[in-house]
Structure 1
Amino acid sequence: MKPLAFLLLFFVFTTQIKAADRPNILWITIEDTSPNLGCYGDTFARTPNLDAFAARGQLFQHAWSNAPVCAPARTAIITGMYPPSTGAEHMRSQVPLPAGVEMYPQLLRRAGYYCTNNNKEDYNHEKPKGTWDDSSKKAHWKNRAANQPFFAIFNSTTTHESQNRKPNRQLISDPSKVPLPPFHPDTPEVRGDWAQCYDNIATMDGEFQKHLDELTAAGLAEDTIIFFYGDHGTGLPRFKRWPGNGGMQVPFIVHFPKKWQHLAPQAYSPGAKSEELISFVDLAPTLLSLIGEPIPDYIQGRPFCGTKRAPAPEYLHGFRSRMDERQDFMRSITDGRYVYIRHYMPHVPYGLRLSYQSMMPTMQIWEKLAKANQLNSVQADYWKPKPFEALYDLQSDPWETVNLASSTDHTETLHRLRAAQQKHLVNIRDLGFIPEAERIRTAAGNSPRDAFQDDSTYPVQEVVALANLATDPGQTDPLPLLTALENPNPILRYWAATGLLIRGQSVYTDAYPALKKALIDPTPSVQIIIAEIVARHGDAADQQEALSILLKLANVEQSDWFTAVEALNSVIALGDRAATIKDEIAALPQSLPTTPKRLAEYVPRLIETLTTSGE
């Protein structure tokens, strides 16, 4: 036998031996579901199968998805990295992986695992060829080679947001008895959506059991570690897309058969309820820890079980950035009891009109009642400008409705969580502070993380400090912002402009010369913010000049897709001040041949919002 052939045979043989002594791993995942299960204490839920599974496994009380919407949440899972650190945090985006970074199925396959995904992907990173053995509706662990260990995902869409607004629905749950959160108005539409949500969870519970039965019938139950979890919070407004606990907390239950309990999480026992903090960035390193493989240095999560189990963190981190076609920017942190949220676009209300979300009856009636001033103070908060920071005590306020940021009794907690969050933003080099259009332009088809890896292009500490100052209403002196507006770095100029936008009319007169000069800023993202300020506060001539700039930048054929999205968001924010360009907006081209398919709907949605319903 030739030496090369012998070495190849030896490698295959040793890999199979090594793989044969490893557990199978099954993930049963669901969509758009908070811990509304009986085993989590929800007495309205009908989940006997999951309750029984939790009774013989371990339930996590503090599992966060890192993002409150599917694509960025799944991006955190597939890489083991925080998406804001790789430029993949938006809903949706499509950027290259950083150099040297692989998706975890690639690592598992290299270790001898048969890896299948049935079937949702929705990653914000471009998927390398050969990531999965099979990722399709036909993907199944049954198709592996003899004696080959498997890693398999079965994802249920039964509980997805779209399934909560079914037409002509026949409800099983009694809408009159369904529990409602205090921020939702008590209307038939809202009760109907919640009842449908609970019905879908009950259906999903039956689907879950079928996967267990299939595993048992194949004689593999004692060889397989099982994870069950949701991808983010419930698919109703102020759960899905909400950056607090309501949007981040997911049901998360694990089961380790006796054979593999030495790999189980700390204090594992049947029916246990763990207080350990875990989040989606932990899943990739946990998989590698379970199969005894090295964990790459770029991984930002930590394994919570397996041979390389690491201590639990003090905090979990979450984020919300662009939601479909609408721009936003929030960062959150929790220690398990308190949640702190920093809003970097406090001038934008929570209740942004998202075309997809607005299809939900709950959203429609909530918005209608808000416009008619028929909501109580808790329900109305969703439609008001955001505070620049918020602090919630989940122990006394599980619905996150009482902002304690100004409470003197919670000053220490506020400062502690704020400092921990700021440290995290700098440590991961959060790219969310770079406007998306500028980020994509500079990266020029490469990974944004690689393009902004050092302080020569992205002085992250300086940028975060300026963003904090710009968005803090207590910082009223415009001089630091006017100084930064002339900085050579476009990211710093962007935050200076944003700070002046937030301060509004009160600084406009003094800032006017600098603003007029900045209308021709070479960076479109800066130009857009400046044009919005001038169109909002300038005289008729200045207003028309600013609107002309926005109109040009909103044209995908004259700028680019990402710039157009930013410009159209500013036009929407101007409301009636942009009425004179409404017809021209309607006539704008709405696509480019180069626009990625997963992003193509957003410019048309914005144009529709501007030219039909408005805000």
Structure 2
Amino acid sequence: MNIAPFILFLICLTLPSLLGQPKNDPKHPDRPNIVWITSEDNSKHYLSLFDKNGVATPNITALAKEGLRYIHAFSNAPVCSVARSTIITGCYAPRIGAQFHRKIRKVPMHEGLKMFPEYLREAGYYTSNNSKEDYNLEKSSDVWDDSSKRASWKNRRSDQPFFHMVNIGVTHESSLHFDADEMTTQGTHKAPREVYVQPNHPNTGLFRYTNATYRDRIQQMDQRFGDIIKALEKDGQMDNTIIFYFGDHGGVLPGSKGYLYETGLHVPLVMYVPPKYREILGVEAGTDVTGFVSFIDLAPTVLALAGIEVPEEMDGKPFLSSKVDRLEVNQRDETYSYADRFDEKYDMVRAVRKGKYKYIRSFQPFYVDGLMNNYRYKQLAYQEWDSLYRAGTLNDTQSRFFEMRPPEMLFDVEADPYETNNLADNPEYLDKLVELRNMLNDWLTGMPDLSFYPEYVLINEAFDNPAAYGQTQKKEINSYLRTGNLCLPGRANAQKELTLALRSADPWQRYWGLVAATSMDKKADLSESLIAQIMHSDPVPIIQVQAALYLALEKGEDPSSVMTQALYDAKYPAEGLHILNTIVLMRDWAAYIMPAGAPPVKFDIRLDKINAVIREESEVQRRLDYLGV
């Protein structure tokens, strides 16, 4: 008997499973259901499962005992829309133009790439989202079978595997927008004086109350998490469903959400793997995973678990599947992160963490962390922190949030989890500083990072195809990075190169030359007349503004007339918003960041002189309202 045809038939039958590809039959029992449960705005610091200062979350903890606890899980961005744009694409947001929170313009998906649920649908999955999206990208109608407050896995065909995402909003930043009349202790925290307050915060009754309230919210979130698990159990889905729980980025105590500190990035992540999948996935219940995983890795992991090939266009890689080596995952020790505009507040910060060391590069360190952001300052704790700083009652650690940052910061986050001791100037850590600086520079140039162009330039020139634009402008972006880095220590010929940049025909060389000069700890001996000439006659308004900022911080000159006229000359909403960011800085912080004895900076802005297109942008309106225009 010739058994060769029979063997060939068996090979053809089993090959898809061996390769990790789904069979055409959607009933195939080896294709797991996948559920994501996210909680909004909480870092790992508030759960005792991950941190000694957290509160008990019995439902999440129970799931971790039957699955995996990821000790080093990170959002790549500390705010909703940028984090979720990263998650849904598996891509670094500054590479694809999705890095600005509260987008002025959505960007198209990277050519050749789909949002990951669309791949699941093509493979036969039912995809549902209940219900937050918040992407900075244009979304195809093929991403979700249902994305609404009614969305449920129960609406699929009975023979269909499902991917379901559910969002728990009880921990959102808005939960701390209480007023003074609401300050009554609730829940498990009857004695707010015993609540942990992190060392960079003032230990006041308001901060203790805010901490206590937020920990109560974490426990309410855990109860809702438990309700979702009970619903899966009642529906008989636990035996076939892999469950992810994670925070969608860091927490909302002041200085967390919106900032590249660990409290803004380091999130809880727990995975439940049913017993039937544990052997093939190499999972032992109750195990800790110590390797680093980031939000860019979530989409590739889901696709791999579903047996779908991970697109080359994704930046992340799976951290769990039958083809992933668990030992290799535990050796991963790097994560990269980014912060740009959040609502009306501009900044540009990048960071890399490798092992226990964290390197933060502030490209515009003159924009103090405490710069006004209307939504953040709805929180009473923010308001009190600001008032205490202005009253001069904070210690040095608590004051740094309101002071110009160093361009480079280096932290040992295991010894210093709240990043209060900057090691960048310590000669003992010079080798580590240079190593991480070089890693970050390689990452920025490798993408490349689109934020080396102002947002309004990207909107006008790049947002039809952002990633492709970055590739065509790679040489220019790399040169802007080099110029921006002239402010860092040890840059030979920095003064000569800065002068060349200021005289360049390329406006963004001039811009980054001024940014670097403004950021230097020890100012270069630059021609004041050259900078004054730029301030008065450069054809690009935001370059005039940057020159005026330099002369204000270096010489105490009043920048108000130049900045106001630049606002009147601006043509685009993001351009005007960028200028207003600097105007707010100078109005609110001139007394603290300008040379001693410099006069107060006052602005007299006329609304009718601002371009109507700029005035109509909602983020601009926030700034104008705050300025009393």
TM-score greater than 0.5 by the shorter chain: yes
Is structure 2 residue 52 aligned with structure 1 residue 42?
A: yes
Instruction: Identify the residue that residue 273 of structure 1 maps to in structure 2.
Output: 288
Instruction: Identify the residue that residue 37 of structure 2 maps to in structure 1.
Output: 28
Instruction: Identify the residue that residue 551 of structure 1 maps to in structure 2.
Output: 567
Q: Is the 8 A contact 1:182 1:379 kept in 2?
A: yes
Unaligned runs of 5+ in 1: 1-12
Change (3 A) 1:478 1:89: same
Work out the CA distance in 2 between the residues paired with 1:579 and 1:385. Answer: 18
Is structure 2 residue 361 aligned with structure 1 residue 345?
A: no
Instruction: Identify the residue that residue 471 of structure 2 maps to in structure 1.
Output: 453
- 1:171-570 to structure 2, matched below 5 A, reads 171-172=186-187, 173-174=189-190, 175-262=192-279, 264=281, 268-309=283-324, 311-312=328-329, 313-443=332-462, 445-455=463-473, 458-470=475-487, 477-502=494-519, 510-513=527-530, 515-517=532-534, 519-533=536-550, 546-553=562-569, 559-570=571-582
Is structure 2 residue 602 aligned with structure 1 residue 584?
A: no
Q: Is the 8 A contact 2:37 2:166 kept in 1?
A: yes
Equivalent in 92, 96, 102 of residue 102 of structure 2: 92
Q: Could you give the per-residue CA deviations for residues 535-562 of structure 1, whole angstroms, max 9, x where no partner exists? A: 777899x9576245323145xxxx1111
Instruction: Identify the residue that residue 72 of structure 2 maps to in structure 1.
Output: 62
- Kindly state the Cα deviation for residue 26 of structure 1 after the two structures are TM-superposed: 0.4
The DSSP-based 3-state class of the residue aligned with 1:39 is coil
Instruction: Identify the residue that residue 7 of structure 1 maps to in structure 2.
Output: none
Work out the CA distance in 1 between the residues paired with 2:568 and 2:268. Answer: 46
Work out the CA distance in 2 between the residues paired with 1:238 and 1:548. Answer: 30
The DSSP-based 3-state class of the residue aligned with 1:400 is coil
The percentage of counterpart residues that share the same residue type is: 33
- Kindly state the Cα deviation for residue 530 of structure 1 after the two structures are TM-superposed: 2.9
Work out the CA distance in 2 between the residues paired with 1:122 and 1:472. Answer: 40
Change (3 A) 1:514 1:385: closer
- Kindly state the Cα deviation for residue 14 of structure 1 after the two structures are TM-superposed: 6.5
Change (3 A) 1:553 1:306: farther
The DSSP-based 3-state class of the residue aligned with 2:472 is coil
Change (3 A) 1:508 1:417: closer
The DSSP-based 3-state class of the residue aligned with 1:317 is strand
RMSD: 2.7
- Kindly state the Cα deviation for residue 449 of structure 1 after the two structures are TM-superposed: 2.1
Work out the CA distance in 1 between the residues paired with 2:527 and 2:540. Answer: 23
Instruction: Identify the residue that residue 3 of structure 2 maps to in structure 1.
Output: none
Q: Is the 8 A contact 2:37 2:245 kept in 1?
A: yes
Q: Is the 8 A contact 2:68 2:271 kept in 1?
A: yes
Work out the CA distance in 2 between the residues paired with 1:64 and 1:534. Answer: 39
Q: Is the 8 A contact 2:511 2:546 kept in 1?
A: yes
- Kindly state the Cα deviation for residue 585 of structure 1 after the two structures are TM-superposed: 5.0
Q: Is the 8 A contact 1:20 1:147 kept in 2?
A: no
- Kindly state the Cα deviation for residue 515 of structure 1 after the two structures are TM-superposed: 4.1
- Kindly state the Cα deviation for residue 470 of structure 1 after the two structures are TM-superposed: 3.9
The DSSP-based 3-state class of the residue aligned with 1:229 is strand
Aligned residue type for 2:264? G
The DSSP-based 3-state class of the residue aligned with 1:159 is coil
Work out the CA distance in 2 between the residues paired with 1:587 and 1:361. Answer: 35
Work out the CA distance in 2 between the residues paired with 1:544 and 1:38. Answer: 50
More off after superposition, 565-574 vs 34-43? 34-43
Work out the CA distance in 1 between the residues paired with 2:376 and 2:305. Answer: 38
Is structure 2 residue 151 aligned with structure 1 residue 133?
A: no
Change (3 A) 1:547 1:214: closer
The DSSP-based 3-state class of the residue aligned with 2:527 is helix
- 1:65-80 to structure 2, matched below 5 A, reads 65-80=75-90
Change (3 A) 1:524 1:441: farther
Q: Is the 8 A contact 2:535 2:562 kept in 1?
A: no
Instruction: Identify the residue that residue 10 of structure 1 maps to in structure 2.
Output: none
Q: Could you give the per-residue CA deviations for residues 114-138 of structure 1, whole angstroms, max 9, x where no partner exists? A: 1111111111112122221111111
Aligned residue type for 1:291? A
Work out the CA distance in 2 between the residues paired with 1:120 and 1:348. Answer: 31
Work out the CA distance in 1 between the residues paired with 2:601 and 2:431. Answer: 47
Work out the CA distance in 2 between the residues paired with 1:602 and 1:473. Answer: 39
- Kindly state the Cα deviation for residue 18 of structure 1 after the two structures are TM-superposed: 6.5
Relative to the length of structure 2, the TM-score reads 0.87
The DSSP-based 3-state class of the residue aligned with 2:36 is strand
Aligned residue type for 1:546? V
Work out the CA distance in 2 between the residues paired with 1:502 and 1:409. Answer: 24
Q: Could you give the per-residue CA deviations for residues 391-442 of structure 1, whole angstroms, max 9, x where no partner exists? A: 1112211111111112222222222222211111111101122111122222
